[in-house]
Amino acid sequence: MTTKTTIDPKLAQWLDANDARVRDQLFEFLRIPSVSARSEHKGDVRAAAQWLHAQCARIGMQVETLETAGHPIVLAEWRQAPKGAPTVLVYGHYDVQPAEPLELWTSPAFEPTIRDGKIFARGSVDDKGQLWLHIAALEAHLATRGTLPVNVIVLAEGEEEVGSEHLAEFVKAHRERLKCDAVVISDSTMFAPGIPSILSSLRGLAYLQVDVTGPNSDLHSGMYGGAVVNPATALARIVASFHDADGRIAIEGFHDKVRPFPDAVRAGLRELPFDEREFMEHLDVQALGGEPGYSTLERLWHRPTCEVNGMLSGYTGEGAKTVLPGQAMLKVSCRLVPDQDPKEIAKLVERHVLKHAPKGVTVKVTELHGGHAWRAELDGPLYDAASRALEAAFGRTPVITGEGGSIPVVNDFATILGAPVLLVGFGLPGENAHAPDEWISVENLEKGMRAMACLWDEISKQQM
Amino acid sequence: MTTKTTIDPKLAQWLDANDARVRDQLFEFLRIPSVSARSEHKGDVRAAAQWLHAQCARIGMQVETLETAGHPIVLAEWRQAPKGAPTVLVYGHYDVQPAEPLELWTSPAFEPTIRDGKIFARGSVDDKGQLWLHIAALEAHLATRGTLPVNVIVLAEGEEEVGSEHLAEFVKAHRERLKCDAVVISDSTMFAPGIPSILSSLRGLAYLQVDVTGPNSDLHSGMYGGAVVNPATALARIVASFHDADGRIAIEGFHDKVRPFPDAVRAGLRELPFDEREFMEHLDVQALGGEPGYSTLERLWHRPTCEVNGMLSGYTGEGAKTVLPGQAMLKVSCRLVPDQDPKEIAKLVERHVLKHAPKGVTVKVTELHGGHAWRAELDGPLYDAASRALEAAFGRTPVITGEGGSIPVVNDFATILGAPVLLVGFGLPGENAHAPDEWISVENLEKGMRAMACLWDEISKQQM
């Protein structure tokens, strides 16, 4: 018999009483244009770090702002939990995407504005709002009880939008200090409004460039066509060989290390309110495609892919130019699932490409980028606690979602710290994270605080 | 028993005596920068027409400079041949390609300079030098005999390098006046030094653009990859379907109207001093390709092709961008042989493309450009005459060559005037017709004049 979890009324009461003030403070945070990609905003990025530093100190944490070769990292700690209590690391980022094109914003990007229950501002959902709700949840505990049931480390970086270039190095260098029992990250979206979500998988990546060289220059297609191997045709035939006629990836050895996803995951996906017609309408396509035997969500989240990202050869301007191209270039990337290894997959793709290259052209394969897939162990106490906390705040059990893309820091934390990672986000589809009119729902912001405040209590009850 | 043809000694003597003056006059012609593509040279193009007009008048022809919507056409006529003598139309062009990049010229583009037996100048071989050798050959007759054995029309246009836009219209409008028994064009190359050549075939063209549209914008390849039909992959698979595994064109119906080329042509090709190793070295390739069962020259001159001219999709800049492209574009053209019809072939390609397009993308096929192939009837008296005249000047019988590209005016003349066309050129491989350091061999210029002077006599002996 399970008892329905509820949030401690004292925490709830404090949050109710402080919602307006907490939101006003988030607005202060959002007004700082901490665009990490633009050197002219370097001072603003630092100002955002200082603001966050001051807030963490205000609620009663020990705070340090630590320099990196790029933007600084704010590290706030509270380590006075009862002996034996677990330690939780909360990761977030205080930098934001550039706001351009500014003319497409309904209200100014750095002047938060509420419309239709949404806070519009650059960084509202990605990730200042989601980072701030954690600080508010921590404050609720410290303000009402003077203590927290778990030790907490808040690590906020200022380079997430430019590739988290110095984060892994930082985590490695501070491995001992950052040692923890769980990592909690709120930088993702819920499946749909009202449906709390735990993001349980990310796909990895093996990104390659293929350069096919034929004759030493572009030739006249009349004078040479028919007898010289055309690099564009050769490349097209290579690309066509990546999949069989049914859409299965046909690269030898590609599937060898694919770990099947659990039946429970498949069952869970079936229960998600996913509307395929809506998905197609949104993309303006008449049909979907992909690997036979899998549903769309399975294809998107749990199956590996091999997708062309770019292709270039010969004359691509207006009208007709009768050129037989001297070269052809392909960008291709595979999304990976556990336990595919990015380096190994890159080698398999290279071998396949070379095997399918005809005589008369030379082919060069370059590995550009790679990363491992990640899949949560959903059976652990961390997920039980999260599930109860989310149910307490949202009134329903969370759904388990996947994500077809990659979030490299997740693997960094999991690998370097050896702790389970909980991805629990409060964004929503259509939130415009990297586009004009970015927003976070006020309701999700408030429920998110309550869920996270509850999470610390629930985690403290678990054997981590 | 055939008697070896020789050039009339009086003509030869006159040409010997006048070589230097004839060359000096060519240099005058070459100094006029008649670049038809550049509006700032409009006056120079007209000046070249006026210069040519004056020269034709000087040698004793009736000349008119006729306006078109573009650059003018110089039409010179001499119609006093004995009753029943054939009429020959000589076509050439007095406009030239742009000379840029000027810094790559060893000597100035519009200051003719002789080095190593070559006259270097823009237009030297394409086509002022080759047009001028005809005028010199006509002058040799008129100066020594006061007459010509055939009626002659010289038609020189100023828009060949910009597509001969107004020529067909002009020929149609003056069909009666231009009525002739043969058209002679010197605007091509010999197979090799010392080997006079008759160009007996040109391939036609059907040029298309294929636009594949998938989702309504570029997507994140992580978030959407695996379930959305990738337009680049779809396009690559379409391209791969154009040929079978052996390199034969696999477009249904494509070969239906292909007229086999005569065995004599195949035999002739075998005798040409074609060095496949040299051809590959020149292109920097380790192997050639193409349709099985045919030699390289057969593939280049006498078999139809389907070649990619350009291909573009997604991200093609530096590094890795994880985009699933919304669109993919292909430029593809088929070189055609008799009796393939460009419109019909375009339809077949379109049908093939649509048939091979997967669900989930929309495909649009646009016909950009087309033209018929041309093949000379080598059995006629015109070719016999040409063969003898070339042998008289070069000391050996000509070889019969083909050309993989198209010269649209050839078909225009053949179709509108209904006369056989003789393509007899005196350029050489490596002549840089459209590049810096364009040249014509002094020897070929002089032998060309003698061959053409001899040609009028030989033609007059034939029953045309």
Q: CA-CA distance, A370 to A253, in Å (whole number)?
A: 18
Residue closest to A92 by CA, chosen among A57, A44, A60, A125: A125
B26 residue type, one letter: L
Mutate to test the interface with A, among B306, B331, B362 (most CBs of A within 10 A): B331
- pLDDT-derived band at B298, boundaries 50, 70, 90: very high
Asked whether residue A299 is assigned to any structural domain, the reply reads no
Q: Do A227 and B288 touch (CB under 8 A)?
A: yes
Indicate if A45 and A59 belong to the same structural domain: yes
Boundary-marking domain end, from A368, A398, A421: A368
Q: Which range among A20-24, A88-92, A159-163 shows the weakest confidence by mean pLDDT?
A: A159-163
Indicate if A105 and A33 belong to the same structural domain: yes
Q: Do B239 and A242 touch (CB under 8 A)?
A: no
Q: Could you report the per-residue pLDDT of A164-210, keeping only the tens digit for each?
A: 999 999 999 999 999 999 999 999 999 999 999 999 999 999 999 99
Asked whether residue A266 is assigned to any structural domain, the reply reads no
Residue closest to A115 by CA, chosen among A438, A405, A348: A438
Indicate if B386 and B325 belong to the same structural domain: no
In A214-305, beta strands by DSSP E? 219-220
Mean pLDDT of chain A, nearest integer? 95
B125 contacts B427 by C-beta, under 8 angstroms: yes
Is the CB of residue A201 less than 8 Å away from at least one CB of chain B? no
Is the CB of residue A319 less than 8 Å away from at least one CB of chain B? yes
- What would the 3-class secondary structure string for chain B be? CCCCCCCCHHHHHHHHHHHHHHHHHHHHHHHCCCECCCHHHHHHHHHHHHHHHHHHHHCCCEEEEECCCCCCEEEEEECCCCCCCCEEEEEEECCECCCCCHHHCCCCCCCCEEECCEEECCCCCCCHHHHHHHHHHHHHHHHHHCCCCCEEEEEEECCHHHCCCCHHHHHHHCCCCCCCCEEEECCCECCECCECEEEEEECEEEEEEEEEECCCCCEEHHHHCCCCCCHHHHHHHHHHCCECCCCCECCCCCCCCCCCCCHHHHHHHHHCCCCHHHHHHHHCCCCCCCCCCCCHHHHHHCCCCCEEEEEEEECCCCCCCCEECCEEEEEEEEEECCCCCHHHHHHHHHHHHHHHCCCCCEEEEEEEEEECCEECCCCCHHHHHHHHHHHHHHCCCCEEEEECCCCHHHHHHHHHHCCCEEEECCECCCCCCCCCCCEEEHHHHHHHHHHHHHHHHHHHHCCC
CA closest to B290 among chain A residues = A227
Closest Cβ opposite residue A215 in set B216, B283, B303: B283
Quick check: A349 pLDDT over 70?
yes
Indicate if B185 and B225 belong to the same structural domain: no
Span B206-220, mean pLDDT?
95
Indicate if A34 and A46 belong to the same structural domain: yes
- How would you label A235-274 residue by residue, b for 16+ Cβ within 10 Å and e otherwise? bbbbbbbbbeeebebbbeebeeebeebeeebeebbeebee
Q: When comparing pLDDT for B174 and B380, which is higher?
A: B174
pLDDT at residue B1, rounded to an integer: 43
Closest Cβ opposite residue A226 in set B220, B224, B305: B305
Boundary-marking domain end, from A335, A368, A401: A368
- pLDDT-derived band at A406, boundaries 50, 70, 90: confident
User: Which chain B residues touch A368 with a CB distance below 8 Å?
Assistant: 319-320
- Quote the longest CA-to-CA distance of chain A: 85
DSSP state of A41: G
Mutate to test the interface with B, among A191, A228, A305 (most CBs of B within 10 A): A228
Mutate to test the interface with A, among B322, B323, B356 (most CBs of A within 10 A): B322
CA closest to A361 among chain B residues = B285
Quick check: B229 pLDDT over 80?
yes
Indicate if A34 and A146 belong to the same structural domain: yes
Mutate to test the interface with B, among A251, A309, A368 (most CBs of B within 10 A): A309
Domain span holding position B342:
204-253+304-371
B72 contacts B149 by C-beta, under 8 angstroms: no
DSSP helix/strand/coil, A39? helix
How many CB contacts within 8 angstroms connect chain A with chain B? Answer: 281
Is the CB of residue A292 less than 8 Å away from at least one CB of chain B? no
What phi and psi values does residue B72 have, to the nearest 5 degrees? -75, 165
Q: What percent of chain B has pLDDT over 90?
A: 92
Q: Could you report the per-residue pLDDT of A8-24, keeping only the tens digit for each?
A: 999 999 999 999 999 99
Q: Which run of H or E residues covers position A221?
A: helix A221-224
Indicate if B334 and B432 belong to the same structural domain: no
Q: Do A319 and B243 touch (CB under 8 A)?
A: no
User: Which chain B residues touch A329 with a CB distance below 8 Å?
Assistant: 316
Quick check: B436 pLDDT over 50?
yes
CA closest to B293 among chain A residues = A227
Asked whether residue B259 is assigned to any structural domain, the reply reads no
Is the CB of residue A248 less than 8 Å away from at least one CB of chain B? no
User: Which chain A residues touch B299 with a CB distance below 8 Å?
Assistant: 226-227
The DSSP result for A85-104, as a single string, is --EEEEEEE--B----SGGG
Q: Do A316 and B310 touch (CB under 8 A)?
A: yes
B231: domain CATH number?
3.30.70.360
Is the CB of residue B274 less than 8 Å away from at least one CB of chain A? no
Quick check: A436 pLDDT over 80?
yes
Asked whether residue A293 is assigned to any structural domain, the reply reads no
CA closest to A326 among chain B residues = B283
Q: What is the number of other CB atoms lying within 10 angstroms of the CB of residue A169? A: 14
Is the CB of residue B168 less than 8 Å away from at least one CB of chain A? no
User: Which chain B residues touch A309 with a CB distance below 8 Å?
Assistant: 221, 232, 314-315, 320-325
The alpha carbon of residue B414 is apart from the nearest alpha carbon of chain A, in Å, by 20
Asked whether residue A119 is assigned to any structural domain, the reply reads yes
User: Which chain A residues touch B328 with a CB distance below 8 Å?
Assistant: 311
pLDDT at residue A2, rounded to an integer: 57
Indicate if B326 and B224 belong to the same structural domain: yes
User: In terms of residues, how long is chain A?
Assistant: 464
B430: domain CATH number?
3.40.630.10
Asked whether residue B283 is assigned to any structural domain, the reply reads no
Q: CA-CA distance, B107 to B122, in Å (whole number)?
A: 11
The alpha carbon of residue A391 is apart from the nearest alpha carbon of chain B, in Å, by 27
Closest Cβ opposite residue A309 in set B214, B216, B315: B315
pLDDT at residue B102, rounded to an integer: 92
Which A-chain residues 78-117 have CB contacts (< 8 A) with chain B?
none
- pLDDT-derived band at A1, boundaries 50, 70, 90: very low
Indicate if A36 and A178 belong to the same structural domain: yes
Domain count, chain A: 2
Cα–Cα–Cα angle for A451, A453, A457, nearest 5°?
Answer: 105
Indicate if A121 and A210 belong to the same structural domain: no
Q: Could you report the per-residue pLDDT of B361-396, keeping only the tens digit for each?
A: 999 999 998 999 999 988 889 999 999 999 999 999
The alpha carbon of residue B46 is apart from the nearest alpha carbon of chain A, in Å, by 28
Judged by phi (left if over 0) then psi (alpha if -120 to 50, else beta), residue B164 lies in left
User: Which chain B residues touch A322 with a CB distance below 8 Å?
Assistant: 205, 207, 309, 333, 405
Asked whether residue A320 is assigned to any structural domain, the reply reads yes
Boundary-marking domain end, from A322, A345, A368: A368
Indicate if A333 and A440 belong to the same structural domain: no
| DSSP-H helix ranges across A253-376 | 263-271, 276-283, 296-301, 342-356
Q: Residues B292, B297, B303, B307: what is their CA dihedral angle, to the nearest 10 degrees?
A: 80
Indicate if B161 and B122 belong to the same structural domain: yes
Q: CA-CA distance, A180 to A175, in Å (whole number)?
A: 9
ipTM: 0.90
Asked whether residue A176 is assigned to any structural domain, the reply reads yes
Is the CB of residue A141 less than 8 Å away from at least one CB of chain B? no
DSSP helix/strand/coil, A285? coil
CA B164 to mean position of chain CA atoms = 12
Span A412-440, mean pLDDT?
94
